[in-house]
Structure 1
Amino acid sequence: MLQLSEMVMAVVFAVLLATTKGVESRKAWRENAEGEYLEYCVISCRAKSASLTDFGGVGDGTTSNTKAFQEAITYLSQYESEGGSQLVVPPGKWITGSFNLTSHFTLHLHKDAVLVASQDECVILFRTTIISFYGRGRDNTEGGRFISLIFGTNLTDVVITGDNGTIDGQGEVWWQKFKRGQLNYTRPYLIEIMYSENIQISNLTLVNSPSWNVHPIYSSNVLVQGITILAPVTSPNTDGINPDSCTNTRIEDCYIVSGDDCIAVKSGWDEYGIAFRMPTKQLVIRRLTCISPFSAVIALGSEISGGIQVVRAEDIVAINSESGVRIKTAVGRGGFVKDIYVRGMTMKTMKWAFWMTGNYGSHADNGYDPYALPVIQNINHHEMAAENVTMAAELEGIPGDPFTGICKSNVTITLAKNVKKLPWNCTDVAGISSCVVPQPCEALAYQVPGSVAACNFPEESLPIDNVQVQVCSYGRKHWR
């Protein structure tokens, strides 16, 4: 069998070529007599453009550019009501600490630009407020955490893009501190947008994030397209894309190698999420390829206390991952996971194809309600194939609170050689199955093929499917 590194190299180029075919936000750089000219497709064009070098930026891999980013964005914010603005990061290696975005704004990385997260904690701005939905930091019991490298809150119409320009989080030092228990506050993410609307994050390569890579939270109308995310598969909590209490989100044409879930859908933790009551809903995931040996390709939870509803995922490729589709919850979470549809998923070398658990037990604190039971219902998997799988499914509901409305149809799972476990393990779940191999547990009652429209994927579009992009351009005679 190929080693993971060999497998990654073998599939990455083919996958990227295949997955980017559907990305509308294609870009092209051209040389001409006037200099270098860029065309690209995004949700909004801008009236004013500038280069980071206009504000003293130096891309030599040594100079700090935190001040240059902050001053550039502050200056360009004056054009919010005059057609918006764009900041272009030219070729080079740009060291920077955290910086905040502004509305009606585009951050564009040149294809040869590498934005590198500073390791100087003095320039990593610190956020001490407790996240409303979580109650405390993820890495510790304190409420504070380091702010994300690229951050924005209460914004409208923001684009973070590039012709596959790179953002390097330099996560190794953070991973080691986490493993040694040396962090007093939670690690930063790479990109985080909060309480905002009309957001596009596209055509970038994100590497070595300290923790989560892309975290839209409490936001609406979010496009994440053509993103490549790479992290060592043993790096802690390097989730790929985590839509969190968001409405109308579309994730497509992405390639992720991760030490945690490739896509993790969330909506708050225990009593904090229950009180805030902001679900993630109307989420589309398509043309995703994932490698994550120790986690899931698509995970719903474990923080679902605000609810998750109306998720549609299709054309998914999973390679050497722990589980394909996973639901994680527990007594005390409350909330719900409803109306989930997955189709056209291909899996190779998996521990589980399907995994649901009602015993995912960590809690924010001791204030959770032990009577807050989650509702898991209408979970549909259709037209899926997997090979070299250790176990077809581990489906574990909650005694007295079963997971219901589970439907699996046209699913073929080929088990690995010499597997000794039963292919299906089902407790406290109920549903139906049709044309599933190997035969599911009795809890998923067999339906004669054609007798029901089992697990049919909804054909009507969601609002986020109707979001359009437009061709924009930028030209500059000299980059430096």
Structure 2
Amino acid sequence: MIRPIPVAISARIAAIRLPVPGALYHLPQMLSWRLTQIAGDLPPREGLADRVVTLFHDLSPASVYRLEIDGLEPFQFRTAPCAGLVDAVAFGLIEGAAPDDLDTASRNASALAAALATVPSGGTLRIEPGEWITMPLRLGGHITLHLARNAVLRAPSLRAGWPILPARGSLGRMLGSWEGMPDACFAAPVHAMEARNLVIEGRGTIDGSGAEGDWWTWPKETRDGARRPRGLHLIGCENVTLLGFTIRNAASWTIHPQGCSNIVAAGLVIEAPHDSPNTDGLNPEGCTDVRLEGIRFSVGDDCIAIKAGKRGPNGEADHLRGTRNVEVRHCRMERGHGGVVIGSEMSGGVASVTVEDCEMKGTDRGLRLKTRRGRGGSITGITMRRVRMDGVLTALSANAHYHCDSDGHDEWVQSRKPAAVDNRTPAIDGITIEDLDVYNLSHAAGVFLGLPERPIRNIVIRRLRIHSLDPDATAQPPIMADDIRPILHETILAEHADVDCDQPELRSMNSISTSLRAAS
């Protein structure tokens, strides 16, 4: 029999993977479950599971449970201990204020700070049901922030009085950042720096009030001396668990682990309007050992964007850190510019990324790699297996002529003639795609555009199945580079890229570039 797999277990929530063969985000059919506390006084609980990564809430700390699920092997697990539970409402939180009520936001921030100060190491701060507006909340380590069902922790819509993170800390480490470079930014509504053993969990919501303020009207600007805040910003943290909550309406990137290690996120809901600018879902940058499971994304930009910082215009690189060992499983990406994206900030290098058993619905691209001359760094060891894409414009893309930054359209970036190779020449080597099912394809199954001086190497595609084409699609350039021709209903196209496909008929002999650029 199949054995359930623990994804993350806190004191009060367990995220368990039900590895039913063929299941992606949802289970093919609902499964009955029964949860019994061993040596406990409470009666067994029963319910139905409809998702592969199922969360069990309202558990007792330091307790052993037995989980029985139809067709799966019985499974036992132990919840973590809790050193003490503190109720934030007891410290004078004020409920139900308007988003622009900065006075209440400041009062609630003071109440939350006072409550946090009383939580013992290994304890929990509980946010009760209700809508609580607060100025940005900074969390420390060895603590759990528990958002109860129907609890909403909301940022104010106005930025007056918001704390600002400087570009660098006292020891020179990058704190505030913007698109991979040190830069002052407003502190996120919930943020942590150098925290260890941090848990953020529950069935409540973090709301960044991006839709209520003016944040989305200046996506690339600086105002009041800072860039827009993230929704949840983790800087230099270790052993962080994110469980079950909803996070929405971030001013910019929604969840941004920066320079962190050992991050687990399971069962989250990450939301932003489809037209909100740069509201990426979850962007690990300069991180190692990241696991993302059972997350549903519906955002205004990339759903998952894996990054490693950006080399400065004068070669600045002291802030760069590589990203290694990222695992994405049983997630659902809806809308968004890309399902799983690597880059374009990848100067520190990205290695060992695995995407398995996921669903992508209506994203512009499925797996997307993007970089350009001047970035340097490498992308290696990228694997995607058992993924279903429906209504995705281009299923697979790797673009080494991405026209980002103010000089992105310059001839030295976009030229298809070989350039000199140096430490600012990016490298892409090692992309493996297996068992990909594509429905309602618009532009192309795969588009790979490498550099003539450093082509993309070792692209392996096995068992790619195109089930249907979108009859209403129109021809469009499938990647963001200059002089790319409009494409409609094509298969795999490659220039300066080595593609090994087990179905030769899928490899097109057509060019990606226009004849003008290709001949230049």
Place the TM-score, normalised by the shorter chain, in its bin.
Answer: 0.7 to 0.9
Asked whether 1:233 is paired with 2:287, we answer no
Match of residue 357 from structure 2: 315
Match of residue 494 from structure 2: 426
How high is the TM-score relative to the length of structure 1?
0.78
Q: By how many angstroms is 1:264 displaced?
A: 0.3
Alignment of 1:29-428 (within 5 A): 44-62=80-98, 63-64=104-105, 65-76=108-119, 79-80=120-121, 84-130=122-168, 138=178, 143-162=183-202, 164-172=203-211, 173-178=213-218, 183-184=223-224, 185-271=226-312, 274-293=317-336, 295-363=337-405, 371=422, 372-390=424-442, 391-413=444-466, 414-417=468-471, 421=487, 422-428=490-496
Letter of the structure 2 residue corresponding to residue 358 of structure 1:
A
Distance 1:135 1:48 in 2: 31
Distance 1:440 1:233 in 2: 33
Q: By how many angstroms is 1:114 displaced?
A: 0.9
Distance 1:16 1:256 in 2: 22
Shifted more, 250-259 versus 67-76: the winner is 67-76
Letter of the structure 2 residue corresponding to residue 347 of structure 1:
M
Match of residue 462 from structure 1: none
Letter of the structure 1 residue corresponding to residue 507 of structure 2:
P
Distance 1:377 1:195 in 2: 28
Asked whether 1:440 is paired with 2:479, we answer no
Residues 43, 243 of structure 1: CA spacing in aligned structure 2 closer, same or farther, 3 A cutoff?
A: farther
Render the CA deviation track for 1:54-90: whole Å, top value 9, x for unaligned. 22112233543111112222332xx33xxx2210000
Distance 2:271 2:196 in 1: 29
Q: By how many angstroms is 1:120 displaced?
A: 3.6
Between 1 and 2, higher relative CO (CA 8 Å, sep ≥ 6) is seen in 1
Q: By how many angstroms is 1:44 displaced?
A: 4.3
Residues 142, 277 of structure 1: CA spacing in aligned structure 2 closer, same or farther, 3 A cutoff?
A: closer
Q: Percent identity of the aligned residues?
A: 26
Distance 1:115 1:314 in 2: 32
Distance 1:251 1:16 in 2: 23
Match of residue 461 from structure 1: none
Residues 250, 364 of structure 1: CA spacing in aligned structure 2 closer, same or farther, 3 A cutoff?
A: farther
Which secondary structure does the structure 2 equivalent of 1:321 belong to?
A: coil
Render the CA deviation track for 1:81-137: whole Å, top value 9, x for unaligned. xxx221000011100111111111000000110111112423421112249798985
Match of residue 9 from structure 2: none
How high is the TM-score relative to the length of structure 2?
0.73
Residues 69, 245 of structure 1: CA spacing in aligned structure 2 closer, same or farther, 3 A cutoff?
A: same
Residues 43, 183 of structure 1: CA spacing in aligned structure 2 closer, same or farther, 3 A cutoff?
A: farther
Distance 1:258 1:133 in 2: 30
Letter of the structure 2 residue corresponding to residue 178 of structure 1:
W
Distance 1:300 1:252 in 2: 18
Q: By how many angstroms is 1:198 displaced?
A: 0.7
Render the CA deviation track for 1:349-403: whole Å, top value 9, x for unaligned. 121011110012334999x999411121110110001111122222111121101
Distance 1:242 1:43 in 2: 29
Which secondary structure does the structure 1 equivalent of 2:501 belong to?
A: strand
Residues 392 and 415, structure 1, Cα contact 8 Å, conserved in 2: no
Match of residue 515 from structure 2: none
Distance 1:141 1:267 in 2: 10
Distance 1:200 1:233 in 2: 27
Letter of the structure 2 residue corresponding to residue 57 of structure 1:
L
Q: By how many angstroms is 1:195 displaced?
A: 1.0
CA RMSD across the alignment? 3.2
Distance 1:403 1:225 in 2: 33
Distance 1:93 1:282 in 2: 37
Residues 28, 15 of structure 1: CA spacing in aligned structure 2 closer, same or farther, 3 A cutoff?
A: farther
Distance 1:24 1:161 in 2: 14
Residues 179 and 345, structure 2, Cα contact 8 Å, conserved in 1: no
Letter of the structure 2 residue corresponding to residue 47 of structure 1:
A
Which secondary structure does the structure 2 equivalent of 1:270 belong to?
A: coil
Shifted more, 223-232 versus 127-136: the winner is 127-136
Distance 2:182 2:320 in 1: 23
Q: By how many angstroms is 1:53 displaced?
A: 1.4
Distance 1:376 1:49 in 2: 48
Residues 174 and 319, structure 2, Cα contact 8 Å, conserved in 1: no
Shifted more, 164-173 versus 295-304: the winner is 164-173
Shifted more, 42-51 versus 67-76: the winner is 42-51
Shifted more, 17-26 versus 67-76: the winner is 17-26
Shifted more, 90-99 versus 118-127: the winner is 118-127
Q: For structure 2, which runs of at least 5 residues remain unmatched after alignment?
A: 1-24, 32-48, 61-76, 99-103, 414-419, 476-486, 511-520
